[in-house]
Amino acid sequence: MSFLLGVVIFIVAILISVILHELGHFLTAKKFGMKATQFFVGFGPTIWSTRVGETEYGLKILPFGAFVRITGMTNLDEVDPVDEPRSMRNKPAWQRAIVMVAGSFMHFALAFVLLLILAVGIGLANNNTTTIGSVSPCVPASKSAFNQGSCKNNLGPAPARAAGIKAGDKIVALAGKPVHNWTQLGTAIRDQPAGVRVPATVLRDGHRLTLYVKPATVPGRQGSYLGIGDAIIFQRSNPISAGAFAGSAFGQVLTGSASAVAKLPEALPDLFAKDRAKTPAGNVGSLVGAANVAGQAVQSAGGWQYTVSDLLLIVISLNIFWGALNLLPLLPLDGGHLAVIFYERVRAWLARLRGRPDPGLVDLQRLIPVSVGVFALLIGLGVLLMAADIFNPVHLVQ
């Protein structure tokens, strides 16, 4: 049930994202006086609708998206002569461009707001503190056993466990030297002589305690061993820090998405490989795969902050990716229409330099084969990724 809950939350979040995309087109079109006759959520037969002014709002039976119908978006649309002055194609190029960009803008704005919520409301994960997340029960028998977290044929109890250190304790000093983060603590532990008792100052429930630990060694591993794991602490940010984080994270997701798309040809052969998660194919997927990951995030039950953070990051990443994808200069994407508008203006400018009249709108009839080809490519790629996510899914825990 928890997995299903995660999938349902994901579907609702994606539907809201799509509605906001269309709302961006709708609101800007209305702002510039264009006639928008329909705003619907879903596809297929209508199950409910109402008319407010000149616009019909409604719900359709298949909740797989949303759409807005703006009069005269291209020269292929038939428009009543009465409505022609308010058609989109009759408006200035800059207004048409803003309407086209507005969908992606809504994706970007939603992602940025969610990043702010993540930083201010949920907190950012920080594993570079000296708070203990786990205490190992043993001293591993070898470096290999250490890497695998195995206690088979172990060399006795872990020094931290023997000394009484518990998960949740915060080590503030080791052998009399203060430590302020996990990096410093790790260095201090490895530098201690094995077999020699040293004091460890810890904070537990607001009280300062001094415990004595005797570091051990793991055969094949350099440095002393205590047997502790770090804790991930969620720390809330102030608005200024949150804004800086949101900007940085937005850029990282955007460049990461571009990198994943660039590696897509390399990833395709590994979509159905047994070790898909360890190949570039593990970084690409469909909505089915994203829903699966969302379900796993809820199912993992790692605490509400982990779960909410994971779900938000999934929705944030998808919105940034969709916003950028829609701006690619390919019809029928919004970016394709932007490219056409840009071409029209360049062509008009060149005609003006030559003393010729404005050639007007581009004949999109000639571009239909290109648009159909791009559409077919996107559908084919989507089906392939869905098949991989269904028959060879990527799991969060390997």
Residue 29 pLDDT > 50, yes or no? yes
Measure the CA–CA gap between 343 and 321, rounded to whole angstroms.
25
Measure the CA–CA gap between 141 and 56, rounded to whole angstroms.
71
Residue 397 pLDDT > 60, yes or no? no
Active-site residue, 22 included: yes
| Digit-coded pLDDT (tens) for 294-341 | 998 888 766 788 899 999 999 999 999 999 999 999 998 999 999 999
Q: What pLDDT does residue 70 have?
A: 96
Measure the CA–CA gap between 70 and 255, rounded to whole angstroms.
33
Portion of the chain with pLDDT greater than 70, in percent: 99
Measure the CA–CA gap between 6 and 291, rounded to whole angstroms.
8
Residue 344 sits at φ, ψ, to 5 deg, of: -60, -40
What's the pTM value of the predicted model, to 2 decimals?
0.83
Structure tokens at 171: 């080590």
Q: What is the rounded average pLDDT for all residues in the chain?
A: 92
Nearest to 23 by CA among 105, 88, 90, 82: 105
Residue 128 sits at φ, ψ, to 5 deg, of: -110, 45
∠ CA 105-111-115, rounded to 5°: 145
Residue 398 pLDDT > 60, yes or no? no
Nearest to 87 by CA among 73, 103, 99: 73
| Digit-coded pLDDT (tens) for 86-128 | 999 999 999 999 999 999 999 999 999 999 999 999 999 888 8
Q: What pLDDT does residue 312 have?
A: 95
Measure the CA–CA gap between 325 and 254, rounded to whole angstroms.
10
Q: What pLDDT does residue 393 have?
A: 87
